[in-house]
Chains A and B, each alone.
Chain A
Amino acid sequence: SQQGEEDPQALSIQEGENATMNCSYKTSINNLQWYRQNSGRGLVHLILIRSNEREKHSGRLRVTLDTSKKSSSLLITASRAADTASYFCATYGKSNDYKLSFGAGTTVTVRA
């Protein structure tokens, strides 16, 4: 069942700008994960944030988690054309029977 919902559905930015996308979910989680999917390809795991963490960084990626609001955000700084992809959040935990539950994704286009 789909638990995470990303916002916005689509985002178009200029190269060098930052891209921010949000994810909201409904039930308690053990962790929340972000994945990237380039056009017509499989998903690639980007970053995992545990329920007791508030912020995590990986290179140009910054993820925040607010369990009280049941929301997360993914920030990509200094975007590049290669960041053009769809980004999915996925929740994981007991309430999902320890299965990943994906949102519908945010499509990001980075213009050169």
Chain B
Amino acid sequence: DVKVTQSSRYLVKRTGEKVFLECVQDMDHENMFWYRQDPGLGLRLIYFSYDVKMKEKGDIPEGYSVSREKKERFSLILESASTNQTSMYLCASSPSLLSGEQFFGPGTRLTVL
């Protein structure tokens, strides 16, 4: 079974802090994604990566950056956390762009105070 893990289930940070969210997948997938999920808005794509060291902006990249130094690991970085970044963050990986089927991690609920 594909396993996607995220570094924390719950995280509480203060405004202005730098925050790292890590995601690791164990199935050698080329593609990895970061979403945020807010009530009534569904999932919105922040960034994605098709390969090591490659990244593409999603629909809401402002205030975020990403890093993919190894194929299995995709990190989301909040350079200076703000209260409006309080959200559920979901990481996903995908083996193929032909079907687009994605495998999700358990999510990190981030609260910024």
Show the binding face of A for B, using Cβ within 8 Å. 1-2, 30-31, 33, 35, 40-45, 48, 88, 92, 98-100, 102-105
Contacts of A48 in B (CB 8 A): 99, 101
- In the complex, are the beta carbons of A41 and B43 less than 8 A apart? no
**Would you list 16 pairs from A and B whose C-beta atoms are within 8 A, ordered by A residue?**
A2-B41, A2-B44, A30-B100, A35-B104, A40-B109, A42-B104, A43-B43, A43-B90, A43-B92, A44-B104, A45-B101, A99-B48, A100-B45, A102-B42, A103-B42, A104-B40
- In the complex, are the beta carbons of B97 and A2 less than 8 A apart? no
Contacts of B41 in A (CB 8 A): 2, 104
Chain B nearest Cβ from A39, distance in angstroms: 11
Determine the distance from Cα of A93 to Cα of B99 in the docked complex, in whole angstroms: 9
Determine the distance from Cα of A92 to Cα of B100 in the docked complex, in whole angstroms: 7
- In the complex, are the beta carbons of A33 and B100 less than 8 A apart? yes
- In the complex, are the beta carbons of B107 and A42 less than 8 A apart? yes
Determine the distance from Cα of A44 to Cα of B101 in the docked complex, in whole angstroms: 10
At the interface, is chain A mostly helix, strand, loop or mixed?
loop
- In the complex, are the beta carbons of B90 and A42 less than 8 A apart? yes
Determine the distance from Cα of A31 to Cα of B101 in the docked complex, in whole angstroms: 10
Show the binding face of B for A, using Cβ within 8 Å. 4, 33, 40-45, 48, 58-59, 88, 90, 92, 97, 99-107, 109
- In the complex, are the beta carbons of B100 and A42 less than 8 A apart? no
* Sample of 15 further A-B pairs with CB below 8 A, known A31-B100, A41-B106, A100-B102: A30-B100, A35-B104, A42-B90, A43-B43, A45-B103, A88-B42, A92-B99, A92-B100, A99-B45, A99-B48, A100-B33, A100-B45, A100-B100, A104-B41, A104-B42
Q: Nearest B residue to A6 by beta-carbon distance?
A: B42
Q: Give me the 5 closest cross-chain CB pairs, A-B, nearest first.
A: A92-B100, A42-B104, A102-B43, A104-B42, A43-B104
Contacts of A40 in B (CB 8 A): 88, 107, 109
Determine the distance from Cα of A31 to Cα of B97 in the docked complex, in whole angstroms: 12
Chain B nearest Cβ from A8, distance in angstroms: 14
Candidates A33, A43, A99; contact of B58 at CB < 8 Å: A99
- In the complex, are the beta carbons of A88 and B100 less than 8 A apart? no
